[in-house]
Each structure stands twice: as structure tokens, then as C-alpha cells.
Amino acid sequence: MRKRRLMNQINVVPYIDVMLVLLVIFMVTAPMINPGVVDLPKVGQSLKQKIKPIIISIKKNATIEIKGKKYKRDELLAYLKVTTKKNPDQSVVIAADKKVRYEEVIAVMDLLKQNEINKVGLLLTPSK
């Protein structure tokens, strides 16, 4: 009676063959894929708007102001709903202080989006 010995090695040749086939397939198909093209605005290009946007300022202490007048969130929504009913193309821009937490800015943006104010942007000062 002859005992069978256990084989303790893995034959990797079939795996190498599969990997080479996959490599060839990806090398052939990669040039055929057309990446999406994004048309970005140029630096210094002026954005012309018919109506001046409403600027919501968020101060360091998380107070919300429009034209120097402080608003609570529900008052802000009431003011914006009245304004956007008059002009449906009215855009809203959020100008937040550097020290304001990111969560505060996102909370205001989310509040505006939930109440169907869709033209919302961020105001930034360009670096010189």
C-alpha cells in the first residue's frame, strides 16, 4: 500500500493566464471609453444676472443677517418665500465668515433646499 502525499503547493499558472487575459481586455477597451467633459467657467469671467441675489450673511456667532437685519430661521424662510414669489428667478447667496462651522452653512443651505429655494450659491472672495 502506497500512501498519498498531500500537496502543499498551489499551482498559480492558471491564475496568471486569467490575469493576462483580463489585462489585455482592459488595455483594448480603455481607449474606447469616452470620459465626461465638464465645461468650467474661465477665471475672471463675469456672471451676469438680471436680478441682484439676496445675500444671507452668517456671522461668527452663527447669527443670520440679510442687509444688516438679524433673522431667525423661520423668519428667514418667511422673508425668502415672499421675495421669491415676487421673482421666481431670484437667487440666494450665502456669505459665511471663515470661523463659522461648516455645519451651520450646510444647515442653512439644506433649509433653503427643503423649502424649494433652488438657486442657492456660496459667496467667496477671490484670492489676489
Contact predicate 60/90, CB 8 Å? no
Confidence at residue 48, expressed as pLDDT on a 0 to 100 scale: 63
Domains of the chain and CATH, by start: 54-122 (3.30.420.270)
C-alpha cell at position 117: 429655494
Contact predicate 94/102, CB 8 Å? no
Burial (Cβ within 10 Å: 0-12, 13-18, ≥19) of residue 62: middle
**pLDDT tens per residue, range 7-60:** 778 888 889 999 999 999 999 998 887 765 545 555 555 556 677 888 888 888
pLDDT at residue 128 is higher than 50: no
User: What span, in angstroms and rounded, lies between the C-alpha atoms of 29 and 53?
Assistant: 47
Q: What is the pTM of this model?
A: 0.57
User: What span, in angstroms and rounded, lies between the C-alpha atoms of 73 and 92?
Assistant: 15
**pLDDT tens per residue, range 76-122:** 888 888 888 888 778 888 888 888 888 988 988 888 888 888 788 88
